[in-house]
Structure 1
Amino acid sequence: MKTSNNTVLITGGSAGIGFEIAQQLSEQGNQVIITGRNAERLQAAAARLKNTTAIVSDVSSQSDVTKLVNQLNEQFPQLNIVINNAGYSSSPYRLLPGVDTFEKASAEIHTNYLSVLRLNELLLPLLNKQAQAAIVNVSSIVSFAPSIDIPGYSISKAALHAYSRVLRLTLKDTPVRVFELMPPLVNTEFSKEIGGEKGIPPSQVAADLLDGLKNDNYEIHVGNTADIYQLYLSSPENALQALNSNK
Structure 2
Amino acid sequence: MKQNIVITGGTSGVGFSIAKDLSIDHNIIIIGRNKTKGELQAEKLGKNVTFIQADLASDISNLVYKINARFKNIDTLLLSSGIMPENKNDNISNNLMSHYNTVNNLLPLLNGGNVLLITGNPHAIDIIPICEQQGNYIERMSWVVTHKTLLMVYLSQILKEYHIRVNSFFPGDVKSDLMPYTQNLSNTRVLMGRNIILDESLKEKNGVFFDQDGSEVTVNKNKYSFNRSEKILTEYLKVDLRQ
Whether contact under 8 Å (1:109, 1:153) holds in the other structure is: no
4+ aligned runs moved over 6 Å, structure 1: none
Secondary structure of the 1:187 match is: coil
Q: TM-score of the superposition, structure 2-length normalised?
A: 0.75
What is the one-letter code of the residue matched to 2:184? Answer: E
Whether 1:68 aligns to 2:63 is yes
Secondary structure of the 1:186 match is: coil
Measure, in 2, the Cα distance between the counterparts of 1:152 and 1:67: 29
Post-superposition offset of 1:146: 4.7
Task: Find the structure with the greater CA-based Rg.
Answer: 1
Aligned length: 206
Q: 1:112 aligns with which of 90, 95, 98?
A: 95
Whether 1:82 aligns to 2:69 is no
CA deviation map 1:115-166 (0-9, x unaligned) = 10111011112211xxx41111111114334599532122122111111012
Whether contact under 8 Å (1:105, 1:153) holds in the other structure is: no
Secondary structure of the 1:144 match is: helix
Match of 1:194 in 2: 181
Match of 2:193 in 1: 209
Measure, in 1, the Cα distance between the counterparts of 2:125 and 2:172: 10
Whether contact under 8 Å (1:46, 1:54) holds in the other structure is: yes
What is the one-letter code of the residue matched to 2:50? Answer: T
Match of 1:41 in 2: 37
Measure, in 2, the Cα distance between the counterparts of 1:219 and 1:209: 13
Whether contact under 8 Å (2:171, 2:192) holds in the other structure is: no
* Unaligned ranges ≥5, structure 2: 130-135, 224-243
* Unaligned ranges ≥5, structure 1: 91-102, 237-247
Q: TM-score of the superposition, structure 1-length normalised?
A: 0.74
Secondary structure of the 1:183 match is: coil
Match of 2:125 in 1: 143
Measure, in 2, the Cα distance between the counterparts of 1:145 and 1:34: 33
CA deviation map 1:68-96 (0-9, x unaligned) = 11222233112221111110114xxxxxx
- Kindly indicate which of the two structures has a greater share of residues assigned to helix: 1
Over the aligned positions, Cα root-mean-square deviation in angstroms equals 2.8
Q: For residues 82 and 166 of structure 1, do their structure 2 counterparts lie closer, same or farther at Cα, with a shift above 3 Å needed?
A: same
Whether 1:52 aligns to 2:36 is no
